[in-house]
């Protein structure tokens, strides 16, 4: 599987990463999914301390123990579970980040985290303090690099200006083109990579198309608009390939994107996603057709 450099780091991530949130909590089943990813050549695994109260990190760490030096583990911090586990609070403080990293390392069964990401954030956060925490963790050898997971243009700009982030994780797809105007060009210009999530737009951009469509539509698309646009895209772009291929290749067509992180709840799903990423890239004409048929949506609420 092809690899791309993550920002200005020395990490080279596969074009497809495994989003581990969907692997479940049953160890045997989770291990099979992770092993299928390794078999397909995937080296980038994305988890978070929030997933399954930390159990996700634990399962991933166990499954990757024998391959630790060959893989890139990314996890996230900032969401703090309440004592009764009824929900979580947001805590981007230096004290919490430096405490949480030790717990993640323990659960993952590793001495270092390749990519440590802030799991959200707003413009009201103590950004300088948060950056200080990540920089110290780098100096101390607990993490190799850091990034943020955010779709807020104002927050992204702050980190571009003040920090040494190598990546930003954000939702991006043919139906969610919000990053194209404000985020992707800025990050590409500064040599910061984008890791995308949600490339299949809740399954709307898979071959199942409208099977799981909501009456509310998707983002600023009504159900009627989806019923019109999706079949026409599939007919034009995927007569002899899967629509999943088109969706993943659309993300990879943007020069700012290093890896597409897709979830999988079965080994078969991993294999299909891997096949999609290994397929032929979209032509410039195909990308232009997609942009012509879909909305160039922009960020409204998330600033």
Give residue 53's region: left, alpha or beta (phi > 0; psi -120 to 50): left
Domain limits at 64?
3-293
Token pair in block for residue 101: 């990293």
Task: Average the pLDDT over 47-69 and give the result.
Answer: 90
d(CA 48, CA 78): 10
Instruction: Assess contact for 13 and 43: CB atoms under 8 A.
Output: yes
Token pair in block for residue 132: 């200080």
Q: Phi/psi at 81 (nearest 5 deg)? A: -65, 140
Residue 226 has pLDDT above 80, yes or no: yes
- The answer as to whether 302 is a domain residue is no
Q: Phi/psi at 79 (nearest 5 deg)? A: -95, 120
Residue 27: what pLDDT?
92
Q: Which residues pair with 62 in a beta bridge?
A: none
Q: What is the pLDDT of residues 254-276, one digit of tens each?
A: 999 999 999 999 999 999 999 99
DSSP state of 221: B
Domain count of the chain?
1
Q: What is the pLDDT of residues 78-136, one digit of tens each?
A: 988 777 778 878 999 999 999 999 999 999 999 999 999 998 989 999 999 999 999 99
Of the candidates 176, 177, 279, 293, the residue with the CA atom closest to the CA atom of residue 236: 293
Residue 55: what pLDDT?
86
User: For position 104, which CATH number holds?
Assistant: 3.20.20.100
Confidence (pTM): 0.94
- The answer as to whether 201 is a domain residue is yes
- The answer as to whether 301 is a domain residue is no
- The answer as to whether 249 is a domain residue is yes
Catalytic residue, chosen from 44, 51, 145, 159, is 51
Residue 233: what pLDDT?
96
- The answer as to whether 298 is a domain residue is no
In the chain, what are the helix, strand and coil shares in percent, each to the nearest 5?
Answer: 45, 20, 35
Q: Is 159 a catalytic residue?
A: no
- The answer as to whether 299 is a domain residue is no
């Amino acid at each position: 599987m092809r690899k791309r450099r993550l920002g200005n780091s020395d990490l080279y991530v596969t074009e497809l990463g495994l989003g581990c949130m969907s692997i479940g909590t049953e160890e045997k089943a989770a291990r099979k999914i992770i092993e299928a990813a390794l078999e397909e050549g995937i080296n980038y695994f994305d988890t978070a301390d929030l997933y399954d109260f930390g159990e996700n990190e634990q399962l991933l760490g166990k499954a990757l123990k024998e391959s630790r030096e060959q893989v890139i583990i990314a996890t996230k911090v900032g969401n703090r579970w309440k004592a009764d586990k009824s929900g979580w609070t947001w805590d981007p403080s230096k004290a919490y980040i430096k405490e949480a990293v030790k717990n993640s390392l323990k659960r993952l069964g590793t001495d270092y985290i390749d990519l440590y990401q802030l799991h959200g954030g707003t413009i009201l956060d103590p950004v300088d303090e948060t950056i200080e925490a990540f920089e110290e963790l780098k100096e101390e050898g607990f993490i190799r690099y850091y990034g943020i997971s955010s779709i807020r243009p104002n927050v992204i700009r702050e980190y571009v200006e003040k920090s040494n982030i190598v990546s930003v994780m954000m939702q991006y797809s043919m139906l969610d083109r919000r990053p194209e105007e404000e985020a992707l060009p800025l990050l590409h210009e500064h040599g910061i990579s984008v890791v995308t999530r949600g490339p299949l737009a809740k399954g709307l951009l898979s071959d199942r198309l409208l099977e799981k469509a909501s009456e509310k539509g998707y983002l600023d698309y009504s159900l009627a608009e989806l019923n019109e646009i999706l079949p026409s895209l599939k007919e034009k772009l995927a007569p002899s390939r899967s629509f999943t291929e088109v969706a993943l290749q659309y993300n990879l067509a943007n020069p700012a994107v290093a890896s597409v992180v897709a979830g999988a709840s079965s080994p078969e799903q991993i294999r299909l996603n891997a096949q999609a990423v290994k397929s032929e890239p979209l032509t410039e004409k195909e990308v232009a057709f997609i942009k012509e048929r879909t909305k160039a949506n922009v960020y409204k609420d998330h600033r």
